Amino acid sequence: MALREIVKGGFLVGVALGAGAAVVGPVVWRTARPYAKSALRAGLEGYAAARVAAARMGEEVEDLVAEVLHEMTEAEAGAGEAGAGAADAAAEASEQAG
């Protein structure tokens, strides 16, 4: 009765599959290894290309930020000069009126 329980439980099937995998596994690995190697190579090349693209994008963003900051500084300097000119004109007008 114990033998029927072992067979019914799938123990022998598991042992047979394990032994088959031990025998067939190395053959399958030798066959699949070149494909795994080429897939890994493609993945690493894709990763390197993505890093280059991200670096380029980062440089573009840095350039854009620098350009905007420069334009803002010029605009503030221009507004300061225009404000100073208007204040001088107002002072001259009040001196002439008074």
Tell me the pLDDT tens digit for each residue of 54-83: 999 999 999 999 999 999 999 988 877 766
6 Cβ contact partners less than 8 Å away, ≥ 6 residues apart: 12
Which residue carries 């690995």 as its tokens? Answer: 29
Instruction: Please indicate, yes or no, whether the overall pTM of this predicted structure exceeds 0.85.
Output: no
For 97, residues 6+ apart whose C-beta sits below 8 A from its C-beta are none
Tell me: pLDDT of 33 over 60. yes
Q: Give the per-residue pLDDT at 68.
A: 96
Q: How many residues does the chain have?
A: 98
Where do the domains of the chain lie? 2-97
